[in-house]
C-alpha cells in the first residue's frame, strides 16, 4: 500500500504546478512492485489507492472550479472530484490486478505487459462515453523535452507514455530479479543461467536504457530543427474576471474596457498586418447582440484585418427552438462572416451536465449549468495565404480530434480558451502542456489565445516561440507559418494505441491460460514426499 500510494503521489507531482517530471520515470516502477505477486483483493486496492491519490493531488482545481463557479457547496464539489478520482482508481485497479495475475505466471510477462496495458487504459480514458478525461496522461510528463516529444509525430502522445512506463517496468524487472537468492534453484525455468547472472543482465539493460534516455534527452534537444515563421498574428488577451453570471447591461458597464481592447487590436494590426484573434468567449459576446456585432465589424474594418473572435452563437434548431453553441467566428475586413466553428467536445459539468436526470445530488449544479449544443463538423477556414482550423479549450486534450482538422487540410492550428475558470492553479499550465503536444503531433504552428494566460505561439517542434505574461490585458505579436505536410500520426492516427490494445489482450490471455514458468523471485519450498 505504501508503494502504491507513493506511486500515485509521484506521478501527480510530475505535472504542473509541481513540475517534478523526473518522478514520472519511477512512479510505475513502484506500482509494478506493489502489484507483484499480490493477492487479488490487495492488487485491486493498491491500484485504486494509486489512482485516487493521483487525481486528488494532480487535479484539485476541479473542486475549486465547482465551488467558485458551479455555485455548489463544498461537499458537492468534493463529491464530484471524488467521483473522478474513484473512476481513475478503478482504471488503475484493473492495471494492478492484471500485473499481479501475470506475475504469478512469469516476472517477464508481468513487466512486459505493464507498458502495453498502461497505454491501453490511457487510450480507454480518452474514449469513455460521456466522461472521457485524458488529462495528464503519463507521456505529458516528458513532453517538455524537445527530443522526447518528437516521438509523438509517429505514435501520438501514447508512444511517449509507453517509453516512460516501459522504463519504469524495466527497473521493476531488474529489482525483482535481483531479489532472488544468489543460488536459488529455478524450477521449470528457461535456460537463462544462474539467477545472479540474470540479475546482472537485467541491471545492465536498465543502465543502458538510462544512459540512452539521458543522452537523447540532453543532446537530442539541440538537434531538433527550427522553423522560421513568415507571418504574424495578434493574439489579444482580454483579461476579464471570471463571473458566474452577467447582467443585461454588462456591455454598457464594461464599455471602457471593450474600447481599450478594440484600440489594442486595431493598433497592433495597423502596425504589423495580420489576423486578430480574441479568445474563447470570456464574457457575454454574441454576434446576435447588435452592439457587440457592430464593435466586432468595426475592429475588422478599422484594422483592415481578418478578425477571429470567440462568441456564443445562437441558431434556430429543429422546431424553431433557439440553441446556443460555443463558437469561433472569422470576420473579413468588410465585416462579412467568413467562417464559423462550433465546439464539438463540450466540457462535462461546465458546458453541459451528463446524466442530468440521475445526478439529483447535484441539483443546484444541474439547474445552473445550461446546455450548449455541440457542433458536428471539423471545419477548416481560409486566410489570405493558407488554411487554418480552430479548436476550443478542452478540445486540446483530445489528440485524435485535433488530428481531424489537419486531415481536413488545416495548415495552421489555433486554440482559443478561457482558462480564467482555473485561477492560478496547475490547470492552465497543464492545459498548455497538452496543447503543445498537438502542435508536434501534427507538425503545425499553434497559436493559443486565452482570456488571462497562457497566450503563446508554439512552433511545429514544440518550442514556445513567443508568449504573453498571464493576468494582463494586452496582445502578443505571435509568429507563425503555414505547413501542409502530414506526419505519420496525422495520417494513421492512434495506430500505436490500438497495437497496445491488441498486445495487451494477447498477454492477458497468456497470463490467464498459460502455465506457470516458475521464474518468480525467491526460492520456493519443495514438496516433501508423503510417507
The rounded distance, in Å, linking the Cα atoms of 307 and 383 is 11
Q: Which three cell numbers stand for residue 321?
A: 427552438
Residue 191 has pLDDT above 70, yes or no: no
Peptide bond into 454 cis (omega under 30): yes
DSSP, collapsed to helix, strand or coil, labels residue 305 as coil
Marked catalytic residue, from 122, 227, 393, 395:
393
Residue 507 has pLDDT above 90, yes or no: yes
Q: 287-327, pLDDT tens digit by residue?
A: 999 999 999 999 999 999 999 999 999 988 777 788 999 99
The rounded distance, in Å, linking the Cα atoms of 421 and 66 is 10
Whole-number pLDDT of residue 361: 53
The rounded distance, in Å, linking the Cα atoms of 225 and 228 is 10
Tell me if 217 sits within 8 A of 147, measured CB to CB: yes
Dihedral angle sign, alpha carbons of residues 315, 318, 322, 325: negative
Active site residue 393: yes
Whole-number pLDDT of residue 411: 98
DSSP class of residue 21?
G
Whole-number pLDDT of residue 444: 98
Mean pLDDT of the chain: 90
pLDDT band at 194 (very low <50, low <70, confident <90, very high): low
Q: Indicate left, alpha or beta for 377 from its phi (over 0: left) and psi (-120 to 50: alpha).
A: beta
Whole-number pLDDT of residue 244: 65
Q: 17-43, pLDDT tens digit by residue?
A: 999 999 999 999 999 999 999 999 999
Whole-number pLDDT of residue 316: 84
Burial of 417 (0-12, 13-18, 19+ CB in 10 A): buried
Whole-number pLDDT of residue 320: 78
The rounded distance, in Å, linking the Cα atoms of 526 and 243 is 70
Whole-number pLDDT of residue 216: 97
Burial of 527 (0-12, 13-18, 19+ CB in 10 A): exposed
Report the range of poorest mean pLDDT among 102-116, 335-349, 480-494, 510-524: 510-524
Q: Which three cell numbers stand for residue 227?
A: 522553423
* Beta pairing partners, 339: 330
Per-domain boundaries in the chain? 2-185+193-224+492-513, 231-480
Using a pLDDT cut of 90, give the percent of the chain over it. Answer: 75
Residue 134 has pLDDT above 60, yes or no: yes
pLDDT band at 64 (very low <50, low <70, confident <90, very high): confident
Whole-number pLDDT of residue 20: 97
Whole-number pLDDT of residue 243: 72
DSSP, collapsed to helix, strand or coil, labels residue 493 as coil
Tell me if 158 sits within 8 A of 494, measured CB to CB: yes
Q: Which three cell numbers stand for residue 336?
A: 462579412
Q: How far is CA 230 from the centre of its chain?
A: 29
Homologous superfamily (CATH) for 231-480: Carbon-nitrogen hydrolase (3.60.110.10)
pLDDT band at 128 (very low <50, low <70, confident <90, very high): confident
Selection from 340, 338, 321, 320 nearest residue 329 by Cα:
340
DSSP, collapsed to helix, strand or coil, labels residue 120 as helix
Residue 237 has pLDDT above 70, yes or no: yes
Residue 364 has pLDDT above 70, yes or no: no
Marked catalytic residue, from 343, 351, 395, 441:
343
Burial 305-336 (b: 16+ CB within 10 A, else e): bbbbbbbbbeeeeeeeeeebbbbbbbbebeee
pLDDT band at 241 (very low <50, low <70, confident <90, very high): confident
Q: 420-450, pLDDT tens digit by residue?
A: 888 788 999 999 999 999 999 999 999 999 9
DSSP assignment of 298-311: HHHHHHTS-EEEEE
Report the range of poorest mean pLDDT among 160-164, 249-253, 340-344: 249-253
DSSP, collapsed to helix, strand or coil, labels residue 517 as coil
Selection from 25, 50, 14 nearest residue 166 by Cα:
25
Whole-number pLDDT of residue 348: 77
Tell me if 46 sits within 8 A of 4, measured CB to CB: yes
Q: 369-414, pLDDT tens digit by residue?
A: 557 889 999 999 999 999 999 999 999 999 999 999 999 999 999 9
Whole-number pLDDT of residue 193: 47
Q: Per-residue pLDDT averaged across 93-121, rounded?
A: 97
Marked catalytic residue, from 122, 280, 411, 441:
280
Q: Which residues contact 23 (CB under 8 A, 6 or more apart)?
A: 10, 11, 13, 14
- pTM of this prediction? 0.91
Active site residue 343: yes
DSSP class of residue 332?
-
Residue reference for cell 500485473: 99
pLDDT band at 196 (very low <50, low <70, confident <90, very high): confident
pLDDT band at 353 (very low <50, low <70, confident <90, very high): confident
Helices (H) and strands (E) in the chain, counts: 18, 12
Whole-number pLDDT of residue 80: 83
Amino acid at each position: 500500500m505504501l508503494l502504491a500510494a507513493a506511486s500515485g503521489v509521484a506521478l501527480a507531482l510530475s505535472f504542473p504546478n509541481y513540475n517534478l517530471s523526473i518522478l514520472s520515470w519511477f512512479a510505475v516502477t513502484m506500482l509494478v512492485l506493489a502489484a507483484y505477486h499480490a493477492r487479488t483483493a490487495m492488487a485491486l486496492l493498491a491500484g485504486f489507492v494509486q489512482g485516487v491519490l493521483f487525481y486528488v493531488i494532480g487535479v484539485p482545481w476541479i473542486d475549486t472550479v465547482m465551488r467558485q463557479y458551479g455555485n455548489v457547496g463544498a461537499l458537492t464539489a468534493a463529491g464530484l472530484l471524488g467521483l473522478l478520482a474513484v473512476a481513475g482508481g478503478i482504471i488503475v485497479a484493473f492495471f494492478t490486478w492484471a500485473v499481479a495475475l501475470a506475475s504469478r505466471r512469469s516476472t517477464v510477462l508481468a513487466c512486459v505487459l505493464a507498458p502495453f496495458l498502461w497505454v491501453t487504459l490511457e487510450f480507454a480514458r480518452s474514449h469513455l462515453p460521456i466522461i472521457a478525461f485524458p488529462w495528464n496522461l503519463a507521456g505529458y510528463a516528458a513532453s517538455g523535452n524537445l527530443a522526447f516529444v518528437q516521438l509523438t509525430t509517429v505514435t501520438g502522445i501514447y508512444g511517449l507514455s509507453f517509453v516512460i512506463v516501459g522504463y519504469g517496468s524495466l527497473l521493476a524487472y531488474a529489482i525483482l530479479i535481483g531479489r532472488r537468492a544468489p543460488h536459488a534453484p529455478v524450477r521449470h525455468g528457461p535456460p537463462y543461467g544462474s539467477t545472479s547472472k540474470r540479475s546482472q543482465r537485467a541491471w545492465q539493460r536498465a543502465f543502458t536504457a538510462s544512459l540512452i534516455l539521458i543522452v537523447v534527452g540532453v543532446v537530442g534537444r539541440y538537434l531538433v530543427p527550427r522553423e522560421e515563421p513568415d507571418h504574424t498574428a495578434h493574439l489579444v488577451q482580454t483579461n476579464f474576471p471570471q463571473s458566474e453570471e452577467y447582467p443585461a447591461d454588462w456591455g454598457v458597464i464594461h464599455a471602457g474596457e471593450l474600447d481599450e481592447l478594440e484600440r489594442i487590436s486595431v493598433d497592433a494590426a495597423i502596425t504589423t498586418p495580420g489576423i486578430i484573434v480574441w479568445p474563447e468567449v470570456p464574457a457575454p459576446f454574441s454576434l446576435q447582440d447588435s452592439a457587440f456585432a457592430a464593435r466586432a465589424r468595426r475592429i475588422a474594418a478599422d484594422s483592415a484585418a481578418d478578425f477571429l473572435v470567440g462568441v456564443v452563437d445562437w441558431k434556430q434548431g429543429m422546431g424553431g427552438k433557439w440553441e446556443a453553441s460555443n463558437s469561433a467566428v472569422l470576420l473579413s475586413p468588410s465585416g462579412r462572416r467568413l467562417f464559423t466553428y462550433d465546439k464539438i467536445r463540450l466540457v462535462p459539468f461546465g458546458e453541459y451536465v451528463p446524466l442530468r436526470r440521475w445526478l439529483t445530488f447535484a441539483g443546484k449544479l444541474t439547474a445552473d449549468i445550461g446546455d450548449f449544443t455541440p457542433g458536428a463538423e471539423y471545419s477548416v477556414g481560409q486566410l489570405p495565404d493558407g488554411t487554418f482550423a480552430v479548436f476550443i479549450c478542452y478540445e486540446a486534450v483530445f489528440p485524435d480530434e485535433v488530428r481531424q482538422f489537419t486531415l481536413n487540410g488545416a495548415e495552421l492550428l489555433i486554440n482559443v480558451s478561457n482558462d480564467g475558470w482555473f485561477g492560478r492553479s496547475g490547470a492552465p499550465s497543464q492545459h498548455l502542456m497538452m496543447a503543445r503536444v498537438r502542435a508536434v503531433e501534427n507538425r503545425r504552428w499553434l497559436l493559443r489565445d486565452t482570456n488571462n494566460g497562457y497566450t503563446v505561439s508554439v512552433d511545429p517542434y514544440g518550442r514556445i516561440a513567443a508568449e504573453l505574461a498571464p493576468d494582463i490585458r494586452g496582445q502578443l505579436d505571435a509568429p507563425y507559418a503555414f505547413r501542409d505536410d502530414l506526419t505519420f500520426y496525422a495520417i494513421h492516427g492512434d495506430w500505436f494505441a490500438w497495437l497496445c490494445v491488441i498486445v495487451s489482450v494477447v498477454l492477458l490471455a497468456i497470463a490467464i491460460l498459460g502455465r506457470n514458468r516458475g521464474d518468480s523471485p525467491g526460492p520456493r519450498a519443495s514438496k516433501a514426499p508423503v510417507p
